[in-house]
Structure 1
């Protein structure tokens, strides 16, 4: 398969376990620092676990726990994202957010939320009465009582960013091993890691295994210090016609139990409603239930009445690597030269670059100084954001393969020939959006199957069949 890299006898400075958004960001940061890096992933592609499904919000940290590591790393990650996004061609849709109160009890909590946000260093906050809230977003229900405006909350493309991180890491010499599961690790001055693809040797390891973070710690020979408790979130994606009615992120006033249901635009021109928060034991299957999805649609229409009867483009569910505590579970074991970045829940997309900075800093406490490269290669990822020019709008794109999402033949061919080509159909969808529109691939899957023949670990037809059986 294109893009598969085999282990070799090289001694690495760092092995990173798990190629979600955090693992990709950590690989990039260590490569920028000059480390010999290998990133391993048991799935067929990056973002095969928790990172493939999220709400794609770039958070400010206004509602993060005061003084927490999560707050520090969310804000550090956000800042770096804003600094590098133009050079890597990363998306940013400047939406802002409204924390909406729907009764007087909720409205009474807004001042406290504002004060906590300012204490967290977020200054672009403004309390709005009902009229000001409706002026800010006319489509909101007239039942809204008040709101807190958070100007800095925005939406991004959640899949192109980690792809860019890993692509830059590879350009700096990092290696990526897909379909490579850690079986056992042993430390005897250096790490010897047994994987399904062979044995790796490294000076240090970083555990970014997400939903299997606690399992990987055990396989590395450490005692269990936290327990992953998968938390399912179900989402509904509405047709692009809904986008005109939801120009801003609409957040609820949180409770002690949950942050609640969000209604927000996406970078791809749709509207998202969700997520739920459901505890389960299964770390693999995230099913969707009709009753829950209907409840999400009902709640969305209560918040923005124009969403009632809006066509549904897709439904999906994702799992977050929650633990028995709300805090990130970050652990450094200097004597064993190991770092664990565990329990990274819903803010992982925003915090990924901050977590990567933090990992390199912790690594420097037990490692010799690294020698950064003399220059950093320029890389960019294709734009999939509807608010910017797309490839179909440029000449000589070949043809439109996916008409729902206006994906060109040139985009698909470029993804398959890229430094980090897709390993399965899900990876191709995330890189191009082919098959993710109204018809969900009904009209383009045959063409895609022909274009990807022999280039994916699992043939497209088999991949689709497996998804339908879930």
Structure 2
């Protein structure tokens, strides 16, 4: 039964999207562009409150995706659309290229098959290199390198601004964003009645993009879940900016049957990332960092690029990927109840998000909702956070610099709160501005940030500060 105390919204929607991760935000944008009246329902206080906030920020080509799979098709479609949107939405693109590195003769024997699979997947810009030739393209690599595949078109991107841009464009087209609204139950009676902790939402159709809770949400919608989420934890180490000069390219391992392995790669923010681990667990909420695993990552990074040994660690973090019992995406369409499930979207979700949104729209078109695309699409360009393009502190009259580690201005922080999708928690503010993400991890700037955010966040930074 739906809770009687929960208020109902006066308006109803064409489509409700559940889950404000990168996939949910991309789906909202695509549906709004098609003319749908959309509401995004998120249990957390901000977008990217779940799995999407922690990833390696690589825009994949799909060279190593399962041949002939839907995942491959959606990675390629998502990548193509991302690159086409980069200029108009201000999305970050840094073309570093990648090297798939073999550190033994046994691994080297697998490279030809990996390259052949990549070409079969439509990725032509591949080259087999000797260890010597690979080190010419990246001198910092260990001399133990036996051979490598150069994947010239792999990119690194800003993983947080992209979904924010998708949602911002959706909101400009009339979409609504409902935060702190956990789905409790759904009932279909010629339309959906969705009970959430923030009230009841009515919609003609629903898209489940709930990530780590995808199977649970299907159950709450009244479906027998056809997949099981099995969270996979990945721990990461972020090295100081001094490491960036030694890692100009993404360094990928030869994958195994179980995992793609540990990656060493530059970030768009001027650091170097080492990770992730791959650890199965049942907890869908807590992703702990463990000293032994982090020490192993640091040791592995120094084995790959010896100059990384001894470079200070800026941050450590862990994220959970919504793996399932199958390696394939778990996508289901139920036309009789106008419902789509986008489940089991694991490590390639950032790259495939826009492709998944296109696919979801194609499935929803079976529902005959009679949508009419808007006559005009509002233009927008989000603030730049990456180091390869000018930042706000480099512009005239930037004013106070609040976070000196990451060179974040007061103007940037104020703009984040005045934007169409203001941060709902401190994590959201960090992802929009980089404030507190540098060497001191907020030790010097958090007091100032607490002053500036007083009354603006659901959970205040300073004790005694209550939101207005």
| TM-score class normalised by the smaller sequence | over 0.9
Residues 156-305 of structure 1 mapped to structure 2, 5 A cutoff: 156-305=157-306
Please say which of residues 190-199 and 242-251 is displaced more in the overlay. 190-199
Structure-2 separation of matches of 1:305 and 1:419: 45
2:15 is matched with which residue? 14
Structure-2 separation of matches of 1:303 and 1:454: 47
Q: What's the CA shift string for 1:78-124, capped at 9, x where partnerless? A: 00000001100000111000000001111111000000000000000
Q: What's the CA shift string for 1:199-225, capped at 9, x where partnerless? A: 111110000000000000000000021
Q: What's the CA shift string for 1:323-365, capped at 9, x where partnerless? A: 0000000000000100000000000000000000000000001
Checking the alignment, whether the CA contact within 8 Å between 1:100 and 1:146 is kept in structure 2 is yes
- Partner SS state of residue 345, structure 1: coil
Q: 1:439 to 1:83 in 2, by over 3 A?
A: same
- Partner SS state of residue 460, structure 1: coil
- The yes-or-no answer on 1:431 pairing with 2:445 is no
Q: What's the CA shift string for 1:122-180, capped at 9, x where partnerless? A: 00000001111010100000000000000111100000000000000000000000001
- The yes-or-no answer on 1:64 pairing with 2:75 is no
- The yes-or-no answer on 1:117 pairing with 2:118 is yes
Checking the alignment, whether the CA contact within 8 Å between 1:424 and 1:460 is kept in structure 2 is no
2:412 is matched with which residue? 411
1:321 is matched with which residue? 322
Checking the alignment, whether the CA contact within 8 Å between 2:240 and 2:311 is kept in structure 1 is yes
Structure-2 separation of matches of 1:94 and 1:73: 20
CA RMSD of superposed structures (Å): 1.2
Structure-2 separation of matches of 1:257 and 1:338: 32
- The yes-or-no answer on 1:53 pairing with 2:54 is yes
Residues 333-412 of structure 1 mapped to structure 2, 5 A cutoff: 333-412=334-413
Residues 435-450 of structure 1 mapped to structure 2, 5 A cutoff: 435-450=436-451
Structure-1 separation of matches of 2:452 and 2:410: 9
- Partner SS state of residue 236, structure 2: strand
Checking the alignment, whether the CA contact within 8 Å between 1:9 and 1:201 is kept in structure 2 is no
Structure-2 separation of matches of 1:441 and 1:462: 16
- Partner SS state of residue 332, structure 1: strand
1:466 is matched with which residue? none
Checking the alignment, whether the CA contact within 8 Å between 2:60 and 2:79 is kept in structure 1 is yes
1:97 is matched with which residue? 98
Offset, 1:7: 6.3
- Partner SS state of residue 365, structure 1: helix
- Partner SS state of residue 330, structure 1: strand
- The yes-or-no answer on 1:422 pairing with 2:423 is yes
Structure-1 separation of matches of 2:196 and 2:101: 49
Q: What's the CA shift string for 1:257-314, capped at 9, x where partnerless? A: 1111000000000000000000001000000000100000000000000000010000
Offset, 1:461: 3.3
Structure-1 separation of matches of 2:240 and 2:368: 51
Structure-1 separation of matches of 2:362 and 2:461: 41
Structure-2 separation of matches of 1:245 and 1:461: 39
Offset, 1:256: 1.1
1:467 is matched with which residue? none
Offset, 1:367: 2.0
- Partner SS state of residue 8, structure 1: coil
Q: Which runs of 5+ in 2 are unaligned?
A: 1-6
Checking the alignment, whether the CA contact within 8 Å between 2:14 and 2:369 is kept in structure 1 is no
Checking the alignment, whether the CA contact within 8 Å between 1:99 and 1:251 is kept in structure 2 is yes
Offset, 1:67: 0.6
Structure-1 separation of matches of 2:78 and 2:152: 18
Offset, 1:376: 0.2
2:4 is matched with which residue? none
Checking the alignment, whether the CA contact within 8 Å between 2:183 and 2:194 is kept in structure 1 is yes
Structure-1 separation of matches of 2:12 and 2:402: 44
TM-score in terms of structure 1 length: 0.97
- The yes-or-no answer on 1:83 pairing with 2:84 is yes
1:149 is matched with which residue? 150
Structure-2 separation of matches of 1:245 and 1:420: 37
TM-score in terms of structure 2 length: 0.97
